[in-house]
Amino acid sequence: MAGTLYLCATPIGNLEDITLRVLHTLQEVDLIAAEDTRNSIKLLNHFQIKTPMTSYHEYNKIEKARQLAEKLKAGQNIALITDAGTPAISDPGEDLVRICQEEQIPVTSLPGACACITALTLSGLPTRRFCFEAFLPREKKERALVLEQLKQETRTILLYEAPHHLKKTLAELFSVLGDRDLSICRELTKHFEEIRRTTLLEAMAFYEETEPRGEYVLAILGKSREISQQEARQTWEALSLPEHMAHYEAQGIARKEAMRMVAKDRGISKRDVYQGLLS
C-alpha cells in the first residue's frame, strides 16, 4: 500500500504554536521534505526530532516531487514542511500535492499556523469575504495586470511583502487603488509583533521616516460594493432599454427573463421596463 503525504503546518514565529499532532507526525514518518533544511533543522533540534530530511523547494519542485511520489508509492510516509506556516500556501508544495493526487497517493493536512489568516483575524477589516494574492508578481506586465484586477476587488485583500520592497509596493497600491484603509501586520507571533491600522497614504508617509523591518502581511479594505454596483448601473443606463434587452435576448434568454435581468441591472421594477419598452 502507498504511504501518506502529511502537510504539516509549522510555526510562523513562536515555536509554541506547533501542534501536538504535527510533532507526533514529524517523529513517526519515514522522511521529512523541507523547503530549507538549514532552517528546518533548528525546529527539529528544538523538539529533539531525529527523522531524516530532504530538500524540496521552488527550484527542484517538479523533479523532486516525482521522486517523493515514488517513495510514497513504495509505502513510505512523508511529512512536508515549509520554512514557516502551512505547506502549499504560496509554496511549491502545491505541485507535490497535485502530483500525489494524480498518482492517487493519500494526502492529508495537519492544520496550524498560517500568516495570511493570522493577519486577517488581527486586521480589524471585514473577514467574511477575502482574497489572498501572496506576493505580487515581480514581472512588470503581470504585476500591472494583477493590480488592475485588485482595483475592482470588493473583498478584503491580503498580500505578503518583504521589507526591502514595502515602500515601492505601498506606492503602487496607492497609485492604482487610491487611498484605502489598511492594516500592516509585521512579525506575526514574534516578540516585536505589530499591527498598524492606517491608510495607504499614511503608511507611505510613515515608511518615508521609518525603515521597514521584518516580514509583512498587508490587509487592504476592498472596494465598496455599493460603489461597484453604482458603476455597473451607470454602465447599463448608458444603453437604451431596447439595447439592454437585446444584450440578453442575443444570448438566447427568453424575453420575460431578460426583462427581469434588465430590471435588476438598472435598479427598477419589471413593470418599469415593460412600460419603457412600450413607450
Give mean pLDDT in consecutive 10-residue pieces for the chain, a chain of 279 residues: 95 95 97 94 96 94 94 97 92 93 96 95 94 93 93 94 96 94 96 95 94 96 73 76 86 87 84 82
| The amino acid at 73 | K
Looking at residue 277, its pLDDT comes to 81
Looking at residue 248, its pLDDT comes to 85
pTM: 0.76
Looking at residue 213, its pLDDT comes to 94
Per DSSP, what are the bridge partners of residue 6? 79, 108
Decide: helix, strand or coil at residue 191: coil
Looking at residue 259, its pLDDT comes to 87
Distances (CA, A) of 258 to 66, 136, 263: 51, 40, 9
Q: Look at strands 5-8 and 78-81 and give their pairing.
A: parallel
Looking at residue 255, its pLDDT comes to 87
Looking at residue 65, its pLDDT comes to 94
Q: Where are the beta strands (DSSP E) in the chain?
A: 5-8, 31-34, 53-55, 78-81, 107-110, 130-135, 156-161, 181-186, 194-199, 216-220
Looking at residue 240, its pLDDT comes to 85
Per DSSP, what are the bridge partners of residue 134? 159
Tell which residue, 219, 188, 182, has the closest CA to residue 202: 182
